[in-house]
Structure 1
């Protein structure tokens, strides 16, 4: 009972702060400064990894002021047993192995933020729902994970909702999107990469015993180093496309910093995003550890309820009945997958009971 409650707590935090992160970043994109919307995915990407890297500092600070061994013992009842059959490559790297998914995540996040800058907020969130498909496939192939019929049904409805809203977003261009077609394509590619990262994280945590907050901190540090290097290069590349560039360059860091300092609202949002992202990735890695990569992926899709309602209230988007149908499919699919809604016929109830029995019988260490 304690195990299940703690898992749902992490999942709830991940859901809430995930929606908050999306809303804050989109608010930044829509602020107009000097006749130009503040759409700087490269700066935002660096800020994201900075927030993620903060987890490593938190871990080191916590370890120095607390007896970490005692704290670790409190988590042991949650750890799934791992085979601990690491290759020599991973044995030598240890926790630094999480730098590999960190590198992949850099590409995913850059594409994700570019897609967000070009897309409507709800469309961005709904397309992120396709991450469940690559996570499902990769989990079966690399993790040899077994799924039940209610899992497949949930994923089917979730992806159906994604398709409906994605098509509608291209036909009905919303207020807060500049290029919905290109934005949708970029977002889809980013989610394919992110799906691989989720599964890679779970694979590593099943193979070694590592504190999740330390792992995500290593990912963030590697991502921060790479994103800073990319940012430096982008400051020297000339560009005249106002949708992707600023001040005649792909990115103009010094000018962006001045803009942030001069605009109080933008400064507050920028600082807020830093701390919200830290909590988001802290909760996310614990969700992957104690639930699964696919459970975390379904939560990404569940954010749409909060994000969509906020978008309507803020006047960023209008109510479209086709999108409501798509959102309903996504929510229903997520609830079915996570066994919150149990279909009492066609063997789905028995499927849920069998899965829960198997989960309860999984030995903890």
Structure 2
């Protein structure tokens, strides 16, 4: 079945905005500028401030939800309105998970390449599957267990490629290892977040845009307030600002003032996350979750290609192998092999059908139609 123009638009929007989200964050990290008080030029390493911007983008999804609800007012077949009353505070725990996981990922993005960062995020499949079994009482199909094993193998290959593509200095190697481990840790937290979201969204019949926007509100407010104590918490070599603290938002604003392109990168990150969430939810609704998974995999390819073209990273053949293994694991876990097997089965059956027609006469009714 051919896609409609609207479906093509949604698919393109998801692919483009999803790619921009990671690339804009990495672009901001690559800038160097003077900070406050005439400090010398230094890299823009402000992961917690970037996380605040990401939550601002998620918060804007609430506006999209209320616009959709206003447009659907009076339509009997609308599914935008919440069917059951719920307390918004139920989304505070997943918001805290999102806040922690996102902050860790932005810290890790400073330590690794954009393509490896995106590939390693595939680890969320492993922990989502295990937690859904442990906490939601689900039973995974054999293909899903195979998908988890393939994902683990893919992560090992991608991590190895990430190490081999870096310098041989101990500092670089330790930085890469730390970054990769932080991404894996973040995916454990994100998996917990996804399990909680699924439980609350289906229990209270909450529209996904409203859930994302509510979490964005909590994350934006809490993390913005946390920037104040972070300004005074010493972080030593872990810090990326001259003051040596966990986060120096004032230094970030000074750097933005001296290098306006950083503001462009940050705005790209904020706006892209809002459109990406809207497009992703719409793709799942209009097409399927499988389509969303395929587009998300294509996003990794786009990020990888752009990073190589801009010279942000060097090519290593192992990344191709790692990506293909991860793609296989994701496809198995999400059941993408089923439509492929079905297509192959349909392609095989007509041949058999033809043979039966020649043997049984001129009947044109498939003998296996009922199945």
Q: TM over 0.5: same fold?
A: yes
CA distance in 1, matches of 2:202, 2:344: 29
Task: Find the counterpart in structure 2 of residue 237 from structure 1.
Answer: 233
2:61 aligned to which of 25, 44, 55:
55
SS in 1 for 2:205: coil
- 1:303 equivalent to 2:299? Answer yes
Q: Whose Rg is larger?
A: 2
Question: 1:155: Cα distance to partner?
Answer: 3.6
Task: Find the counterpart in structure 2 of residue 270 from structure 1.
Answer: 266
| Residue pair 1:212, 1:289 contacting (<8 A) in 2 also | no
Q: TM-score, normalised by structure 1?
A: 0.77
How many residues in Structure 1 have an aligned counterpart in Structure 2? 334
- 1:73 equivalent to 2:77? Answer yes
* Per-residue CA distance 1:139-160 (angstroms, 9 max, x = gap): 2333344543433333433332
Of 16-25 and 110-119, the range deviating more from structure 2: 16-25
Task: Find the counterpart in structure 2 of residue 210 from structure 1.
Answer: 206
| Residue pair 2:150, 2:328 contacting (<8 A) in 1 also | yes
Q: TM-score, normalised by structure 2?
A: 0.76
CA distance in 1, matches of 2:88, 2:314: 46
CA distance in 2, matches of 1:244, 1:165: 26
* Per-residue CA distance 1:104-140 (angstroms, 9 max, x = gap): 1111111111111111222211211110001111223
| Residue pair 2:157, 2:319 contacting (<8 A) in 1 also | yes
Question: 1:17: Cα distance to partner?
Answer: 2.5
| Structure 2: stretches of 5+ with no match in the other structure | 35-40, 346-371
Task: Find the counterpart in structure 2 of residue 195 from structure 1.
Answer: 191
CA distance in 1, matches of 2:3, 2:136: 22
* Per-residue CA distance 1:197-244 (angstroms, 9 max, x = gap): 112111112111222211111100000111011111111224553753
- 1:38 equivalent to 2:47? Answer no
Q: CA RMSD in A?
A: 3.7
User: Quick one: structure 1 residues 239 and 149, their matched pair in 2 at CA, closer, same or farther if it must change by over 3 Å?
Assistant: closer
| Superposition pairs of residues 1-365 of structure 1, within 5 angstroms | 13-34=13-34, 35-63=41-69, 65-68=70-73, 70=75, 73-75=77-79, 93-173=86-166, 179-241=175-237, 243-284=239-280, 303-341=299-337
SS in 2 for 1:222: helix
Task: Find the counterpart in structure 1 of residue 366 from structure 2.
Answer: none
| Residue pair 2:158, 2:322 contacting (<8 A) in 1 also | yes
Task: Find the counterpart in structure 1 of residue 362 from structure 2.
Answer: none
CA distance in 2, matches of 1:300, 1:196: 20
CA distance in 1, matches of 2:196, 2:289: 9
| Residue pair 1:49, 1:221 contacting (<8 A) in 2 also | yes
Task: Find the counterpart in structure 2 of residue 363 from structure 1.
Answer: none
* Per-residue CA distance 1:3-34 (angstroms, 9 max, x = gap): 99999986765444222211110011011113
CA distance in 2, matches of 1:6, 1:190: 34
User: Quick one: structure 1 residues 6 and 144, their matched pair in 2 at CA, closer, same or farther if it must change by over 3 Å?
Assistant: farther
CA distance in 2, matches of 1:95, 1:2: 39
SS in 2 for 1:118: coil
CA distance in 2, matches of 1:174, 1:282: 39
CA distance in 2, matches of 1:143, 1:220: 24
SS in 2 for 1:315: coil
User: Quick one: structure 1 residues 288 and 115, their matched pair in 2 at CA, closer, same or farther if it must change by over 3 Å?
Assistant: farther
User: Quick one: structure 1 residues 344 and 250, their matched pair in 2 at CA, closer, same or farther if it must change by over 3 Å?
Assistant: closer
| Structure 1: stretches of 5+ with no match in the other structure | 85-90, 351-365
User: Quick one: structure 1 residues 292 and 117, their matched pair in 2 at CA, closer, same or farther if it must change by over 3 Å?
Assistant: farther
